[in-house]
């Protein structure tokens, strides 16, 4: 028979066990244990709409739910450009990139993005033909998100085009795509570009496509309504993390 621990050692054993679990949990939260994802967007999903950035930086402000949800699994790195500049290459050492309703991509950005994906990068790209969210600044304000998605030329290079049905109902709806339930509103449709070779699989819903390009992969969502909800309920959070896992893991 095994020997029992003396009674005075039992609390110490429990303390060591709890301490070990806490250490393991904290280790999982360390930056090195979460994959890094670069984020480019015109939407207020890294900083809140109308947020006081200084207040948030001090730890007193509330972060957008999209950022909080993603940072539970990933380390986010906001970027404003994709091409190399005098300050360096923003995608150096990055193999995951999330681009959500971006402002216009420059020719250098398009070229850098195509090369980065072909070299092994995994891209999640959400382009919305018509945003439906409400924001603190008017549409004419430079700080307003890009209301009409700007389709970068690299999409055509990948053999795809995005279409938009203006007569669809102006209302949020749930769409089943690739085994996920995704909320959309005034969504676009993804189609193969006639006359081009295509390495993409377009879901039957036509809101989601996946392309195997070189050593990398592109996941395209023709809507951004999920990222526009001011508060993320459980369903929205689940959809977001399922999409992230689908694109990156």
Write down the pLDDT at residue 50.
72
- By DSSP bridging, strand 208-213 and strand 200-202 are antiparallel
User: Domain containing 209: what range?
Assistant: 35-248
DSSP 50-118: T--HHHHHTT-SPPPHHHHHHHTT-EEEE-S-SS-BTTB-TTTT--EEEEESPSPPPHHHHHHHHHHHH
Task: Report how far apart, in Å, the C-alpha atoms of 81 and of each of 67, 112, 193 are.
Answer: 19, 10, 27
Report yes or no on 237 lying in a domain.
yes
User: What mean pLDDT value characterizes the chain?
Assistant: 86
Decide if 128 is inside a domain. yes
36-69 tens-digit pLDDT: 999 999 999 999 887 665 655 665 668 899 999 9
| Residue position matching structure tokens 């420059």 | 106
The answer to whether residue 15 sits within a structural domain is no
Alpha helices in the chain (DSSP H): 10-29, 53-57, 65-71, 107-118, 154-157, 234-248
As a whole number, mean pLDDT of residues 103-117 equals 95
Give the separation between CA 208 and CA 176, rounded to whole angstroms: 10
Higher pLDDT, residue 51 or 249: 249
pLDDT of residue 221: 98
For residue 2, the model assigns a pLDDT of 46
pLDDT of residue 123: 98
Domain assignment of residue 22, yes or no: no
Q: Is the residue at 29 inside a domain?
A: no
Better pLDDT: 100 or 171: 100
Residue matched to tokens 């449709």: 189
Distance separating alpha carbons of residues 17 and 189, to the nearest angstrom: 53
Two structure tokens written together for 66: 């999209």
Question: pTM (2 decimals)?
Answer: 0.83
Beta bridge partners of 233: none
Number of domains in the chain: 1
Residue 197, pLDDT score: 67
pLDDT in tens, 181-209: 999 999 999 999 987 767 899 999 999 99
The DSSP secondary-structure symbol of 210 reads E
| CATH number of residue 93's parent domain | 3.40.50.880
* 5 lies in some domain: no
Give yes or no for residue 20 having a pLDDT over 50.
Answer: no
Q: Pick the residue with more confidence: 142 or 15? A: 142
User: What is the C-alpha separation between 91 and 111, in angstroms, rounded?
Assistant: 13
Whether residue 28 lies inside any domain: the answer is no
For 112-120, what is the mean pLDDT?
Answer: 97
Task: Give pLDDT, residue 60.
Answer: 62
């Amino acid at each position: 028979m095994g020997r029992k621990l003396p009674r005075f050692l039992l609390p110490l054993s429990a303390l060591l066990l709890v301490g070990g679990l806490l250490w393991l949990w904290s280790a999982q939260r360390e930056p090195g244990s979460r994959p890094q994802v670069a984020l480019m967007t015109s939407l207020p999903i890294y900083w809140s709409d109308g947020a006081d950035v200084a207040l948030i930086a001090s730890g007193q402000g509330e972060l957008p739910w999209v950022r909080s949800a993603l940072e539970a699994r990933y380390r986010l790195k906001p970027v404003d450009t994709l091409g190399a500049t005098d300050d360096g290459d923003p995608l150096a050492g990055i193999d995951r990139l999330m681009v959500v309703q971006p402002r216009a991509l420059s020719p250098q950005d398009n070229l850098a993005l195509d090369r980065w994906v072909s070299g092994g990068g995994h891209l999640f790209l959400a382009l919305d033909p018509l945003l439906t969210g409400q924001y603190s600044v008017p549409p004419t304000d430079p700080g307003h998100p890009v209301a009409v998605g700007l389709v970068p030329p690299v999409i055509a290079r990948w053999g795809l085009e995005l279409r938009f049905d203006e007569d669809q109902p102006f209302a949020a709806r749930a769409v089943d795509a690739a085994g996920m339930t995704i909320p959309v509103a005034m969504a676009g449709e993804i189609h193969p570009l006639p006359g081009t070779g295509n390495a993409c699989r377009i879901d039957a819903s036509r809101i989601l496509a996946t392309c195997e390009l070189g050593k990398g992969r592109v996941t395209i969502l023709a809507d951004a309504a999920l990222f526009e909800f001011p508060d993320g309920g459980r369903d929205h959070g689940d959809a977001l993390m399922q999409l992230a896992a689908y694109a990156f893991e």
